[in-house]
Chains A and B, each alone.
Chain A
């Protein structure tokens, strides 16, 4: 049971480059989420998706783009990376509107130089 996986686990990129973080879940969960975690801010929601082709902005969406063409995948793209986007990114999923138990992937540690 693979659960929810993220790739890459570590990434170093330069300012201005585009980078995509991948998230894949094997539970067929309808809801998927992207968070970033920074010291002093805790987990902040970037985007979430209720189902394939349905996405919504969270608390800090600027500079990020998401897509959800398949239920199991929810990639997050930084269109032009900035140093302020250096963070740990977590993907998560829940079973649906009646289930609020959220399960997290192992995270991607992104450094923008």
Chain B
């Protein structure tokens, strides 16, 4: 069983739509969570941290639910430039990072 699981998609949404991604994690000892964005053939780039209290950055909102062991990312008013693969990651206290396999998003004009 993978430490972090996410729906690979693809998600194809029209411009302006709201889209949500979820990840589930299996290790309750995971301390920190993040969302990364990866463009084709490029390195992953940190998008945002995820907190139980929620974290909002412009059109992006991330949420952590420790009781159900999942994290979510909500993108509002999707732009063409949001097309990418979104990776969720859980981090243990030992600094071991476990990445999901990524969810592919394509925003259609």
Which chain A residues have a beta carbon within 8 Å of chain B's beta carbons?
31, 33, 35, 40-45, 48, 50, 58, 88, 90, 94, 97, 100-107
- Is the contact region of chain A dominated by helix, strand, or loop, or is it mixed? strand
Asked whether B44 is an interface residue with its Cβ less than 8 Å from the other chain, the reply is yes
Contact with A along B24-42 (1 / 0, CB 8 A): 0000000110100000011
Partner of B99, one of A31, A43, A97: A43
Q: Which residues of B41-72 have CB atoms within 8 Å of chain A's CB atoms? A: 41-46, 49
With A43-B44, A100-B32, A101-B34 in contact, do A48 and B49 touch (Cβ < 8 Å)? no
Asked if B73 is at the interface (CB within 8 A of a chain A CB), the reply is: no
Tell yes or no: B101 within 8 A of A by CB: yes
Q: B45 contacts A42, CB within 8 Å?
A: no
Q: When the two chains form their complex, are residues A45 and B97 in contact, meaning their CB atoms are under 8 A apart?
A: yes
Residue of A nearest to B4 (CB): A42
Contacts of B91 in A (CB 8 A): 100
> When chains A and B are docked, how far (Å) is the Cα of A50 from the Cα of B31?
17
How many residues on the B side are at the interface (Cβ–Cβ under 8 A)? 21
Q: Which residues of the other chain, A, contact B95 by a CB distance below 8 angstroms?
A: 31, 48, 50, 94, 97, 100
Contact: B87 with A42, CB < 8 Å?
yes
Q: Are B44 and A104 closer than 8 Å at their CB atoms?
A: yes
Contacts of A104 in B (CB 8 A): 43-45
Q: In the complex, which residue of chain B has the Cβ closest to the Cβ of A35?
A: B99
Query: Can you sample 27 A-B contacts with CB below 8 Å?
Result: A40-B101, A41-B101, A42-B87, A42-B99, A42-B100, A42-B102, A43-B44, A43-B99, A44-B99, A45-B96, A45-B98, A48-B95, A58-B96, A90-B43, A90-B44, A94-B95, A100-B31, A100-B32, A100-B34, A100-B95, A101-B34, A101-B46, A102-B97, A103-B46, A104-B44, A107-B42, A107-B43
